Homo-oligomer: A and B are copies of this chain.
């Protein structure tokens, strides 16, 4: 749970999730949306992958990333059920 919230605490990472929520993308497509270097984006993606919020699949030269909405949903549900009907 800490890792998920940690991953969500950065605007770049939330934006990556937003992009992947629209469609799967390869690393280059994701990076094209930001002003940061590719390695920086790689690291952000690693943090998201570590939190299991995204998954990746190698396709030839490319690596395609997808959002994992299930983990997001479960984490938020678990957290929220701490607090009454909140």
Q: Which residues of A are in contact with B by a Cβ distance under 8 Å? A: 1-3, 5-6, 8-11, 14, 17-18, 21, 69, 72-73, 76, 79-80, 82-84, 86
Contact = CB atoms under 8 A, between A and B. Distances in A.
For the complex formed by this chain, how many copies does it contain in all? 2
Interface of A is mostly: helix
A82 B20 CA distance: 12
A84 B20 CA distance: 12
Contacts of A80: 76
Contact of A9 (B2, B11, B18): B2
A69 B82 contact: no
Chain A to chain B: the 9 pairs with minimum beta-carbon distance, closest first: A5-B9, A6-B9, A5-B8, A5-B5, A21-B83, A2-B9, A9-B9, A18-B82, A69-B86
